[in-house]
Amino acid sequence: MHVLITGTGRGIGRALADRYRAAGHAVTGTARDGSAEIALDVTDPEAQRAMAARLVGQPVDLLVCNAGVYLDKGQILEGGYPAGMWAQSFAVNVTGVFLTVQALLPNLRAAPGARIAIISSQMASHSRAPGGSYIYRASKAAALNLGRNLAADLRGEGIAVGIYHPGWVQTDMGGPAAEITVDQAADGLVDRFAALDLEHTGCFETWDGRAHAY
């Protein structure tokens, strides 16, 4: 199996790549800083085209859209959340996912039973709206919506799409007080991706297999 994972420079992305490699799968990782097999800024269409050109003829069985940012921690409603922060966050968390899927469609179509896993967040759910983190919540809700619509469009081609909450994870993004470790999150997500098929396409699930409210 060929697995392509965006954002493998650290955290969950790196842990997922390590697990798939240890299981004997071919893994292509991307990282904006060039620390992975492919240097990729997911917001850059030219970089996406370069990646696609490099991977011509290589089927991708599993695409994991993991790259993401959480820039608005600690912002306050009065005077916070600048427009540039909105633009940058949506460029990575939403447009970056779309551009990656779009660039790799030929590779996914070349792999029977291909799957796309989009890392969103429980903060995307309209049923969890405690306030704050407006940019991150809105961008992850958009990623969830994007995944649901991709699932509808790609079902006929046999490509399943799942959207996942990775848990509140002890990473640079989640912070040291988070509920679960990177290893717990990665182990659970690997299981979720393995279970993804057309019967479950469009699902929104937690790292430990629970259906999440939209």
In a domain, 213, yes or no: no
Q: How many domains does the chain have?
A: 1
In a domain, 180, yes or no: yes
Q: Is 176 exposed, middle or buried (0-12, 13-18, 19+ CB in 10 A)?
A: exposed
Among 102, 86, 99, 120, residue whose Cα is nearest residue 45: 99
CB 116 within 8 A of CB 107: no
Separation CA 152–CA 167 (nearest Å) = 25
CATH number at residue 52: 3.40.50.720
| pTM of the predicted model as reported, rounded to 2 decimal places | 0.94
Query: Residue 154 CB: number of other CB atoms within 10 A?
Result: 22
In a domain, 21, yes or no: yes
Per residue in 31-89, pLDDT (tens digit) is 999 899 999 999 999 999 999 999 999 999 999 999 999 999 999 999 999 999 999 99
In a domain, 147, yes or no: yes
**Full residue range of the structural domain in which residue 189 is found:** 2-206
Per residue in 145-165, pLDDT (tens digit) is 999 999 999 999 999 999 999
In a domain, 211, yes or no: no
In a domain, 185, yes or no: yes
Strand order in the sheet with 26-31: 38-39, 26-31, 2-6, 62-65, 115-119, 160-165, 204-206
CB 118 within 8 A of CB 162: yes
Tallying the residues shown for the chain, one arrives at 214
In a domain, 94, yes or no: yes
In a domain, 212, yes or no: no
What is the reported pLDDT for 130? 80
